[in-house]
Amino acid sequence: MKSVIRCTILLFLLMGLVVPNTTAETLPLKVFSEEDKITSLEVLEIREAKYVLLKEVRELFSGTIKSEHLTGRTTVTIMGKRIVFTLNQHRLMIDNEEYVLSNPPASVSGDVVVPVEFLTGIMPHVIGKQITLDQKNRVLQIRREPFVDSNGSEISSPEPASTGFRVIIDPGHGGYDVGAKSKVGLFEKSLTLQIAQQVKSLLAEKQDLHVYLTRGEDNHMTTAERVTFASKLHGHLLLSVHFNSSPSQRSSGFRIYVNSNRMRLGTGMDLEADIFSRSHPVAGKLSEAKRFIPQSKWLAREIKDRLKGIGLTGEEPKEAFLADMDNLSMPGILVEVLYLSNPQDLMIISRPDFINSVSQALADSILAFKAFMEDKGFRSAG
Ligand SMILES: [Zn+2]
């Protein structure tokens, strides 16, 4: 077993040395920090994701880097916090908290590079300040405002319908965050959007039911923004749609996660659901999520049965700490439909009826859930 792991690591290391499709971008990223100090970062594009050089990040935040060339393990120390990651692996640790990057750190001509999301998604947890990226103008702004995990974002939601059951469907990823990628160039962000739109259209004109999408186009949103969107709508359900990816090609099938504060996803599990575990749980705060676990579990089982009904296989639903969702005042479910890294799953995804049959299964699950809630005394006037 250990030698298999070593071989895999070696393979990833070799992949890291030879990175195809790497192009230096002509325009660097301008960085504005709170002291109005202006610097710039060189941007590289690797497999359509934007990367920056770790040594420039270190310089920007006055940190130190220690790289072990044999294992690919890199430790960056910034403001007393230790960020530890391994080349080509999505997971990283900040002190003892685990985080996940959509695109893993890599090596280009001997230089360690990290995805731009390292700056916007990881560094705020390290320096405790907001960092925002203006894609269009290529400006990265390090803000004075303290970084807060689950609120403070100015997200506009449509006015909630005053009556009826309000379902928020959340297509995972978007914009520069493409999510998982298949070898044939399928992006998770596009599949999730297609399914969300299809579910919405399947549920259009159902009585007392209103379906909203957190994003209806290819734009980037943080998890906190998605939760804020759902909260402002006073939703009765937040259903996040994702696709999975694993360094092991053998991982396959669906995974269904119920938002719960009872446990965090442990190491050794698949990384994709951890995308929601980026932020720190707020110590001592009793999670709202707990109230909704029984309802969420009911829906999770329903989704599992209906996905099986269309011929998919997968695991029993699990409770997971979907961080940033810990303030969510409604049932929260995350479905990882299939693995973009698994050849058999990819064949299923490529079928012409795939999007429609998955969407139908999800739409039917939502209708069953609404009936279940009404049975339990939910009034559509609420
Ligand atoms: Zn995802």
Domains contained in the chain, number? 2
Residue 43 lies in a domain: yes
The answer on 90 and 234 residing in a single domain is no
Cα 379 to averaged position of ligand 1 atoms, centre (Å) = 33
CA nearest 48: which of 71, 19, 77?
A: 19
| CA pair distance 237, 31, nearest whole angstrom | 38
Cα(240) to ligand 1 centroid in Å equals: 9
188 CA from centroid of ligand 1 (Å): 7
Task: State the distance from the centre of ligand 1 to the C-alpha of 333, rounded, in angstroms.
Answer: 13
- Å from CA of 186 to ligand 1 middle: 13
Domain-located, residue 364: yes
Q: How far is the CA of 173 from the centre of ligand 1 (A)?
A: 6
State in Å: Cα 121 to ligand 1 middle.
Answer: 14
Residues 54 and 170 placed together within one structural domain of the fold: no
Radius of gyration (Cα) for the chain, nearest Å? 21
**Helices of type H across 85-243:** 116-117, 123-127, 188-202, 223-232
Q: Is residue 330 part of a domain?
A: yes
Separation of CA 195 and ligand 1 centre (Å): 13
Q: Compute the distance from residue 162 Cα to the ligand 1 centre, in Å.
A: 32
Extract the runs of DSSP E, i.e. beta strands, from the chain.
22-24, 29-32, 38-41, 43-46, 49-53, 64-68, 73-78, 81-86, 91-94, 97-100, 106-108, 111-115, 129-134, 139-146, 165-171, 209-213, 237-244, 255-259, 318-320, 332-339
What's residue 284's pLDDT? 30
Q: Mean pLDDT of all residues in the chain?
A: 81
Q: What is the CATH number of the domain that holds 105?
A: 3.30.457.10
Query: Crossing angle for the helix pair 293-309 and 354-375, nearest 10 degrees?
Result: 140
Please indicate, yes or no, whether residues 52 and 184 belong to a single structural domain of this protein: no
- 148, burial (CB in 10 Å: exposed 0-12, middle 13-18, buried 19+): middle
Same domain, 189 and 83: no
Cα 208 to ligand 1 centre (Å): 30
Structure confidence by residue, pLDDT tens digits, 177-232: 888 989 888 999 999 999 999 999 999 989 999 999 999 988 888 888 898 899 89
Region 42-47: mean pLDDT is: 85
CA 180 to centroid of ligand 1, rounded, Å = 6
- Shared domain for 211 and 140, answered yes or no, is no
Q: Is residue 295 part of a domain?
A: yes
Q: Would you call 246 helix, strand, or coil by DSSP?
A: coil
* Full residue range of the structural domain in which residue 193 is found: 165-375
192 domain residue, yes or no: yes
- 175 and 119 share a domain? no
pLDDT category at 153 given cuts 50, 70, 90 is: very low
What CA–CA distance (Å, rounded) separates 166 from 367? Answer: 11
* pLDDT tier, 156 (very low <50, low <70, confident <90, very high otherwise): low
Whole-number Å distance, alpha carbon 326 to ligand 1 midpoint, is 18
Q: Are residues 107 and 172 in the same domain?
A: no
The answer to whether residue 117 is domain-embedded is: yes
Of 33-37, 253-257, 302-306, give the lowest mean pLDDT range.
33-37
- What is the rounded distance in angstroms from the CA atom of residue 268 to the CA atom of residue 275? 14
Same domain assignment for residues 118 and 174? no
In a domain, 381, yes or no: no
Cβ 201 vs Cβ 193: under 8 Å: no
Let me know whether 174 and 289 are in one domain.
yes
Last residue of a domain, one of 94, 111, 146: 146
Say if 225 falls within a structural domain: yes
Of the three residues 116, 146, 176, the one that is the final residue of a domain is 146
Same-domain check for residues 120 and 181: no
**pLDDT score at 29:** 87
Question: Cα of 241 to ligand 1 centre, how many Å?
Answer: 8
Percent of the chain past pLDDT 90, that is, above it, reads 42
Rounded distance between C-alpha atoms, residue 105 and residue 354, angstroms: 32
Do residue 122 and residue 203 come from a single domain? no
Here the CATH number for the domain that contains residue 332 is 3.40.630.40
Q: Do 322 and 363 reside in the same domain of the chain?
A: yes
Taking the centre of ligand 1 as the mean of its atom positions, its distance from the CA of residue 191, in whole angstroms, is 10
